[in-house]
Amino acid sequence: MTAARQQRKPRLTLARLALVCGILLPATVSVVPAEPIATNSETGLAISGFDPVAYFVDGSPKFGRPELELSQGGAVWRFRNEGNRAAFADHPETYSPRFGGYDPVAVARGASVPGHPLLWVVIGERLYLFYDAKARAAFVAQPGRIIEAAERKWPAVSRSIGR
């Protein structure tokens, strides 16, 4: 399937699946649409195949292994070991990069620029990826201001991704 066709293809969410199957969701189930994830258009890999949990556990980016993949959120994630894969499967919102791996400095300006997995920082127990060293330095100098601006702009930016 081509990248353009993949982008046009509607994502199967829990709400859409329930609707198609005629299942009523309990009131306690909250259905949150998946945020777009920066992926390689040819492979579908998120963060270039780096293990998202390694940033937290090892304190550095580490490549995941092809035999330890997990498809989630419209992306293929790779992991170094079973424990990291299980941790991610249980808590993807904790380990996946904030803003879907898009550079928060660019998002704060209203643009979607994929971050690079080797230009990263963990702040407030969230992983952020950056387009270049200059953007990373700007973020580290004023993380609160940039996160606040990016949070405000992210809904509009995320809707524009893939169009």
pLDDT at 35: 82
Give the distance, in angstroms, between the CA of residue 67 and the centroid of all CA atoms in the same chain.
Answer: 21
pLDDT at 162: 72
Rounded to 10°, the helix 133-141/143-160 angle is: 130
Token pair for 81: 């070991």
Cβ-defined contacts of 92-95 (< 8 Å, 24+): 94/125, 95/52, 95/53, 95/55, 95/56, 95/127
- Return the bridge partners of 129, or none: 120
Q: What is the mean pLDDT of the chain?
A: 84
Give 7-66 pLDDT, tens digit per residue: 434 444 444 433 444 444 333 333 334 689 999 999 999 999 999 999 999 999 999 999
Q: What value does the mean pLDDT take over residues 143-158?
A: 97
pLDDT at 163: 55
Instruction: Read off the DSSP letter of residue 18.
Output: H
Percent of the chain scoring above 70 in pLDDT: 79
pLDDT at 18: 39
Residue 147 has pLDDT above 50, yes or no: yes
